[in-house]
Structure 1
Amino acid sequence: MAQQTFVEALRSKYCDDFESSAANDFVVDIVIFGPRPNRRSAKLTSLGLEDCDEDNGVVLNEPEFNYLTNVVLTNCQISKCGFPASSALDICPNVVDLDLSNNFIDCWSEVLLLLDNLPKLEFLNLSSNRLRDKQRCLQSLKRYHGKLNAIVLNNTGVRWQEVVNLAHHLPVLRDIHLCLNNYHSINIESHELASCFQGLECMRLNQNYFKQWDEIAKLSGISSLKTLILSGNPLQNIVYNSQRKLQSPRRQTSTNSPKVIEQKHGLLFLLQEKDNMLNNAVDSDSCYGSAGSTFDEKDCEIGQLVDDLITKCAADFQESLTHQWSSPETWTGEQTCPNHSLTLDKPTCLCQQTTDSRYLPNTIFTESSTDSELNDGLSTDSTNHKQDEEEFEEATPPFQGLESLCMSETKISGWTDLDEVVKFPSLYSFKIRNVPLGSEFTSMEDRRKIIVASLPNIMLLNGSEVSSDEHERSERFYIRRFNDAANPPSRYYKLIEKHGKVIPPKDLDLAKGFQQHATLSLMMDEKCIKTIEIQTKESVGKLKDICAATLKMPKNVMRLFHVSKNNQVVDEDDYEELFLESLPLSRYNMVDGDEIHIDIDFNI
C-alpha cells in the first residue's frame, strides 16, 4: 500500500464511496430515522447571521466530516497531513479523539500542523511513528494547545528534550505515555521537568531500560503526578530521598533563569567593552591619523559596531523577559489571566489595569540602565534565588502527590525496598507482580501476607483491596515468619512493638484417628447379630441396605443408632441416631469396635 496523507486516509475510511461499493457488487443501505440536527442555524449563529436565510444569498458549506469526533486511522501508511489551503476546519473540526498509531509520520512539523488545525483535540495516539524534530520546530514553538490533555508516544523514539519542549506548550496535559522508547536515563534536570509538567497526573514509562532509581527520582519534583507506571524496566531498587534538593520555581519564572542571567552578563560586558574600545581609540589617535583616517571616523565605526551588538543583545533579553512573564506556564491559580499583556517597564494585567508586584521581574533594565544598576541587579537576583531555593527545598517533599506506583516485572528483590515505599507521603496503591522479591515463598498467599505486612500505608495491592483485618493477620504472620530469623528485617521490630510476641500455632493433625474402613457390630435387643466391615466413605443409606438384607426386612421400618466404643457406660444420650441417608459414615467418626443398634418400628 502506497503512503498517503491524513486527509486521503480519512476520506478513504469515512467517506461514502458508492461507486467502489457498486463495483464490488456489495452495497448496504442504512436508513436512520429521526429529526435532522439543525446545523445550518448553529453555523449562522456562530457568524452572527441569525436572521439570514437562503433568500439572502447566504450559502454555508458544512465541513466534510463535521460529524466525526473519534477518528481511528491505524496502519494507514499516513506520512503527511495533506490539509487544504484553507485549514482542517473545512474537513473535520470536531475531532476530539485521534488515533494515528503505526503510520509513517516521521517529523514533528506534521504533528504540530495537526494540533493547529484540530482545535478540539483532547487525545492523540502517535505510537509507532518514528518521530524526529528534523526542522527543530519544537524549539521555536509558540502556539499553546489548550485542549490536548493526553498524548501517547509509545515506540516513537522521542527524545526527552523534545518531550519537554512539547509539554511546555500543552498547559492542560494530564496523561503521557512514553513506553518502549529505549530510555536508559532522563537527561533533563528535575526543576525543568517540574516546570513543563505542572499539571501532569499520569506518566507511563513501561518497557524501557531504567536500572537505577536515581533516574526516576528526577521526576520527584512533579507535584501533580498521581500515577507512575514503571513495569517492565530492569529497576533494581527503590530509594526515597526525603532530602533531595529541588530548585526554586522562582528561578524558573523570573529573570534569574540561566538564559536571562547570561544575557545580563552579555549586556554588562558589551557596555564595558564599548568604553574600553573608545578609550583605546583616544590613546592611539596618532596611529589612526597616520593611517589616513581621523578619530571621529574610527569612533563612528567602533561605536556603530558595538551599538549593533548591544541592540541585538538587549532585544534577546527583552524577548526572554516577555516570554517568561507572558507564558501561561508562569501563571497559576488565581493569577491566570487569558488577556494579560506584560511589558518590561510596566507589567500590567489588562483585565485589572493595575500593576501587581507579584508579576514584576526581580530587576528590570531599560536603555538608560547604568553599569552599576546591572551589577546590582545580578547581585540581588543571586541572593534572592539562593533564599528562595533554600525555602523550596525544605517545603517540598519528593513525589508529594504520588498515589499509585506500578513496579511489576522489575528486578526488585530486597525487602528493604518495601521500607522505602512506606516513605512516599501519599501512596496508597502499589503493584509488584512477577518480581524476584519473595521468591523463597512457594505460596502466593504467604508472599502477599509478607508484602501487606511490610506496607502499612497501602490500601490497594496488585489491584486488590487490603482491609484492616488482612493487615492485622498479615502482620501477625510476619512476626511468626521472622521469629527465629538471625537478622530479621527492621519492620519486624516495629510489629513486635505493636502486637508483642506472637506464639506460633500448634501443629494439628486433622486426619488423626480417621479410618478408611471400620469394623462395626450390628446390635438388636442388646445382642450382636452380625459383625461387618464397611468403608467409612459409604453413606448411611448403604448401611441401612446391609441391615435390611441381614434381617430380611424393609429398611423403611428400621431406625439406626450409633454408639462409640469409647463410652464406658452407655446411657440414652450416647445413642446418636443416623437420620440422613446421604451423609457418609465418616461424619460420625466411626472406628473399629463401634456398635450400630437396630430398632424396628412398624409405625414409621
Structure 2
Amino acid sequence: MRSITQAVSEKYSDDDEDTSGSGFILFVPRSSPRKRLPSTLILDHCEIDSVGDEQSLSSMCHEVNELDLAHNQISKWTEINKLISCLPKLSFLNLSYNALGSVNVNAPESSYPSLKKLVLNRVGIQWSDLVPYLILIPNLEELHLSFNQIEISVEQEDNGKAISEVFPKITTLHFDGNRVENRDHLLWLSLKFPSLTSLVLCDCPLWTLRWNSPAARKAQGTSMSGSSFASSSGSADSSSMASCSGDGKTSPCCVPFLDHDCSENLKENFDESSMFPHLRSISLNNSMFDCWEEIGQLRIWPSLAELRMQSCPLFRKLTEHERRELTIARLPNLRRLNGGGDISAKEREEAERNFLRRFHDCEVKPARYHELLEIHGHVAPFAEVKLAPPKVANVWVRFGEQRWNEKNLSLYMTMKELREKFSFTVGLPASKLRLWHIDIHPMLMRFPAKRLYSYNLKDGDEILIDEKLC
C-alpha cells in the first residue's frame, strides 16, 4: 500500500537514475527539473489507501484540477476530506471502485467550491450518507453514482428533512444500476435535481413511467378484464392483459386512462408535465419496459430530444428497424435516437405513415394513431406483392398425335424428373426424350437439374415431347 503523496512522487518524479553500478559515467548537462505537476493526474490502480503527508501533497499538487483515483484501496472518508482540502483548485475527482461504503462517513468541515465533477461509481455509499458532502459542494455540475444499489425511499421524505435538500446546480446525473423502479422514484430524482439536462438510468429495474406500484397497475388491468378492451388482447387472462405483445399493437394496459394513484407524499397536486423541465437527454438501456404506453410517457417531458433505449422486454419480438420506427412515430419530440445523426424529416414521415398502416385494422387504436391521422390523413396500406414463384401450373403436353392437359404440374419439379414422368406415359426411355417449352417461340429444356419455374412455365403453356434420333 502507498499514500497519494508517494504515488505522485513515484510517477511524476524527475530524479536521475542510480548509476553507481555502471562501469562508465557519462556527464551531460542536467535538464531543468519539473517546475510543476500536470493539471491532470492519473493514479488509478496504484494501491493507494491514504493521503500521506498533507503538507507535501498540498505543495506538490496545488495547481492540480483533475484527479483520477479509481480502483484503489481508500476506505476512509476522512482521507477524502484531507485530499480535497489539499487541492484547492480541484474540479474533477474520480473515486470509483474504492471501498468507501457508508460507515463512519464524517461531514467535511469546509465547503469545496471548485469541485464540479464527482465520480463515485461502485463505492457502496447510500444517499443519506452522501447528502452532507453534496451540500458542501455548491458548484457541483456532474455527479456519477452508478452501481451503488441506492434505494430511493419515498416514505423517508415525509419523516425526515431530506425533502428540503435540493441540488439545483447539478445538470448531469449518472444513476445506473440503482433501485429506480417506478414513477415516484423518477419524481424524487426530478425534485432533487431540478436542473438536470442529462440523465443516465441504464441497468435500472425501471418498469413504468405511469405507475407508483405494481399493485396499482394490476388493479388497472383487472378493472379492464371485463371491458370491451379485452378483445384487443384476445384473452381474458389478467396476467396477459398487463403487458403488450411486443409487436407494437395495443392491449388494455396501453389504453389511455386517468390515473389517480399518484403519490401524495412528495408533493400535492404535482404537475407531471413539470417533471424534468430541462432534461434534453436520457439513457434507459436494459430497463424493464413491457408496454408501449410507457414509451409514450416520454412526451410529457418538455425539453427531451435525445433518447437511448435498447434491450428492454418490449423490443424482444421486433426487428431493429421496427423498434426504431415505432419509437420515432410515438415520440414527436424526439430528435435523436440511440446516438448517430438527427432524425430526418423524411425518416419521421415514413415512420408515422407506417404507424398508421400498422394500426389501420386494429379494433383498439392508440391515441397517437388519431393524432397522426389528423396530420397525414388516411394512408392506404401497401399493395400485397407476391414475389415467390407459383407452385403449380396447368399445361398442355403434345407427343406426336397425342395431346393432353397436365393439371397441377409441380413447378418445383426438375426437368429430369419431368422427363422421367413422361417416359412412362409415352413408353420410351427418359434418355431418348427431348422436351420443348412452347410459349411464343419453342425453347429446348436442356438443363436436367433446372426446376420448371425457372423456365417461366405458366398456365396454358405447352410442352412438346419428341424422340432423339441418336
Given the two structures, how large is their TM-score scaled by the length of structure 1?
A: 0.50
Q: Which residue of 2 aligns with 1:457?
A: 333
Distance 1:161 1:401 in 2: 25
Q: Match for 1:96: what amino acid? A: N
Q: Which residue of 1 aligns with 2:40?
A: 70
* C-alpha spacing 1:448/1:189, structure 2 compared with 1 (3 Å): same
Aligned-pair distance for 1:440?
A: 2.8
Aligned residue runs from structure 1 range 8-157, under 5 A: 8-19=6-17, 66-84=36-54, 86=55, 88-132=57-101, 134-138=103-107, 141-157=108-124
Aligned-pair distance for 1:402?
A: 0.8
Aligned-pair distance for 1:172?
A: 1.3
Q: Which residue of 1 aligns with 2:320?
A: 444
CA contact (8 A) 2:105 2:129 kept: no
Q: Which residue of 1 aligns with 2:5?
A: 7
Which is further off, 232-241 or 490-499?
232-241
CA contact (8 A) 1:202 1:227 kept: yes
Q: Which residue of 2 aligns with 1:499?
A: 376
Q: Match for 2:305: what amino acid? A: Y
Distance 2:166 2:320 in 1: 42
Query: Which protein has the bigger helix share?
Result: 1
* C-alpha spacing 1:136/1:126, structure 2 compared with 1 (3 Å): closer
* C-alpha spacing 1:32/1:459, structure 2 compared with 1 (3 Å): farther
CA contact (8 A) 1:156 1:181 kept: yes
Q: Match for 2:312: what amino acid? A: V
Deviations 1:320-369 (A, max 9, x none): xxxxxxxxxxxxxxxxxxxxxxxxxxxxxxxxxxxxxxxxxxxxxxxxxx
Aligned-pair distance for 1:157?
A: 0.7
* C-alpha spacing 1:500/1:394, structure 2 compared with 1 (3 Å): closer
Q: Match for 1:103: what amino acid? A: N
Aligned residue runs from structure 1 range 276-295, under 5 A: none
Of 351, 356, 366, 1:474 maps to: 351
* C-alpha spacing 1:435/1:65, structure 2 compared with 1 (3 Å): farther
CA contact (8 A) 2:118 2:142 kept: yes
* C-alpha spacing 1:395/1:203, structure 2 compared with 1 (3 Å): closer
Distance 1:160 1:217 in 2: 16
Q: Which residue of 1 aligns with 2:207?
A: 236
Q: Secondary structure at the match of 2:314?
A: coil
Distance 1:409 1:18 in 2: 52
CA contact (8 A) 1:240 1:423 kept: no
Q: Which residue of 2 aligns with 1:185?
A: 152
Q: Which residue of 1 aligns with 2:452?
A: none
Residue 172, structure 1, aligned to residue 139, structure 2: yes
Q: Which residue of 2 aligns with 1:223?
A: 194
* C-alpha spacing 1:65/1:208, structure 2 compared with 1 (3 Å): farther
Q: Which residue of 1 aligns with 2:401?
A: none
Q: Which residue of 2 aligns with 1:549?
A: none
CA contact (8 A) 1:167 1:196 kept: no
Structure 2 gaps of 5+ residues are 213-266, 391-438, 442-454, 458-470
CA contact (8 A) 1:194 1:219 kept: no
Q: Which residue of 2 aligns with 1:205?
A: 175
Q: Secondary structure at the match of 1:412?
A: coil
Of 377, 385, 406, 2:283 maps to: 406
Aligned-pair distance for 1:237?
A: 1.0
Identity %: 29
CA contact (8 A) 2:151 2:178 kept: yes
* C-alpha spacing 1:24/1:228, structure 2 compared with 1 (3 Å): farther
Aligned-pair distance for 1:87?
A: 5.4
Distance 2:28 2:272 in 1: 63
Distance 2:66 2:379 in 1: 57
Aligned-pair distance for 1:182?
A: 1.4
Q: Match for 2:93: what amino acid? A: L
* C-alpha spacing 1:506/1:77, structure 2 compared with 1 (3 Å): same
Aligned-pair distance for 1:146?
A: 1.4
Deviations 1:247-303 (A, max 9, x none): xxxxxxxxxxxxxxxxxxxxxxxxxxxxxxxxxxxxxxxxxxxxxxxxxxxxxxxxx
Aligned-pair distance for 1:177?
A: 0.5
Q: Secondary structure at the match of 2:58?
A: helix
Aligned-pair distance for 1:210?
A: 2.7
Aligned-pair distance for 1:102?
A: 1.0
Q: Match for 1:413: what amino acid? A: D
Structure 1 gaps of 5+ residues are 37-61, 242-388, 514-563, 567-589, 593-604
Given the two structures, how large is their TM-score scaled by the length of structure 2?
A: 0.64
Aligned-pair distance for 1:509?
A: 4.4
Q: Secondary structure at the match of 1:79?
A: strand
Q: Secondary structure at the match of 2:88?
A: coil
Q: Match for 2:380: what amino acid? A: I
* C-alpha spacing 1:186/1:229, structure 2 compared with 1 (3 Å): farther
Q: Match for 1:10: what amino acid? A: V
CA contact (8 A) 1:206 1:233 kept: yes
Q: Match for 2:330: what amino acid? A: S
Aligned-pair distance for 1:31?
A: 10
* C-alpha spacing 1:565/1:413, structure 2 compared with 1 (3 Å): same
How big is the alpha-carbon RMSD for the aligned residues of Structure 1 and Structure 2? 3.6
Distance 2:29 2:78 in 1: 41
Aligned-pair distance for 1:169?
A: 1.1
Q: Which residue of 2 aligns with 1:525?
A: none
Distance 2:49 2:35 in 1: 20
Deviations 1:388-416 (A, max 9, x none): x99x9679922111111111111111101
Distance 1:217 1:476 in 2: 34
* C-alpha spacing 1:65/1:120, structure 2 compared with 1 (3 Å): farther
Q: Match for 1:454: what amino acid? A: R
CA contact (8 A) 2:92 2:116 kept: yes
Aligned-pair distance for 1:15?
A: 1.2
CA contact (8 A) 1:407 1:433 kept: yes
* C-alpha spacing 1:226/1:30, structure 2 compared with 1 (3 Å): farther
Aligned-pair distance for 1:129?
A: 0.9
Q: Secondary structure at the match of 2:106?
A: coil
* C-alpha spacing 1:30/1:393, structure 2 compared with 1 (3 Å): farther
Q: Which residue of 1 aligns with 2:292?
A: 415
Aligned-pair distance for 1:511?
A: 7.2
Distance 2:299 2:29 in 1: 60
Aligned-pair distance for 1:32?
A: 11
